[in-house]
Structure 1
Amino acid sequence: MKEAKILMVGLDGAGKTIILYRLKLEETITSISTIGFNAETINYKNISFTIWDVGGLIFVVDSNDRERIGETSEELQRMLEDDELKRVSLLIFANKQDISNVMNTTEITEKLDLHSLSNRNWYIQTACAISGDGLGEGLDWL
């Protein structure tokens, strides 16, 4: 079995912990704000992913939070400037797609200026942490 170490980040309330435990337990959990970090190992398609709450970066976006998308973009850009993360693949989960009238991937791509990341391998995946929709597809890409 292959191993991959993944860092998952995003603003508070974006859904990181719910995604982590949805992948790990295949069920929805009630989440409280995380203090420190969560790390879990998830076996998926013969790969053992250790996900920290670094070969890859998962950035979780709250697709329903238009008010903080500017802050989200600034945080992502700050992270991508870190020397340890310069060459890692970037998977963006556009979370909370179960809510009506949320930002779609085109809007999020534009707001996060993802097309400027020409020297980085990146992918944006719609997701719903509660149902698990899109999570497997994101890991398939990663």
Structure 2
Amino acid sequence: MGLLSLLRKIRSSPEKEARILLLGLDNAGKTTLLKQLANEEVTHVTPTAGFNIKSVAADGFKLNVWDIGGQAKIRPYWKNYFENTDVLIYVIDCSDRIRLKETGDELLEIINDEKMKDVPLLVFANKQDLPNAMTASEVAEHIGLITLENKTWQIQACSAVDGTGVKEGMDWACKNMKK
């Protein structure tokens, strides 16, 4: 799936930009997902010490994806990137059961912020290619997504390494993007 196909779906007005914020704990697969979206090689990905930005311009569209590091010392700075976000993509490592509560708490803090109130939420339940991965519905239940009211959200099972489920999630994000 290339970004150009996503861009065509995102906006009908060529002078507009879309801002996508990509968050999650360290080692969740955010940068791998970003590389997958940009059709880049995903065999060697190093931890993000700060942030990565991919801006793609094509056919009059511009998509800006902000991938912010997920280490505990960086998370307090996430809120500095909330302004003007059109879609929040939150990535969860479904094979890391030990940190499930931690990632759920972080997500809740983000979506309860006033700047993120009306921003649609796409949760990628990543690492489905691993044998001990929780299903997307298990994750949704454990972190409390199913109890969210007045929030547009979707959880999508995926594997950022091979791209499984990524297109389906991005299709949802494009259809539900904050206008």
TM-score (norm 2): 0.73
Deviation beyond 6 Å, 4+ runs, structure 1: none
Q: 1:43 to 1:130 in 2, by over 3 A?
A: farther
SS in 1 for 2:170: helix
Give the equivalent residue in structure 2 for 1:21: 35
Q: How many residue pairs end up in the alignment?
A: 141
Match 1:132 to one of 163, 167, 171: 163
How many percent identity over aligned positions?
A: 43
Give the equivalent residue in structure 2 for 1:8: 22
- The CA deviation at 1:134 is 0.9
Q: 1:93 to 1:47 in 2, by over 3 A?
A: farther
Distance 2:121 2:61 in 1: 18
Map 1:65-80; keep pairs closer than 5 Å. 65-80=96-111
Map 1:32-47; keep pairs closer than 5 Å. 32-42=46-56
Match 2:138 to one of 100, 107, 112: 107
Deviations 1:46-76 (A, max 9, x none): 9643111011100000010000000011100
Deviations 1:108-131 (A, max 9, x none): 011110122110000000111110
Give the equivalent residue in structure 1 for 2:128: 97
Q: CA RMSD in A?
A: 1.8
Q: Which runs of 5+ in 2 are unaligned?
A: 1-7, 12-16, 68-84, 174-179
**Who wins on radius of gyration, i.e. which is larger?**
2
Distance 1:127 1:106 in 2: 12
**Structure 1 counterpart of 2:18, one-letter code:** A
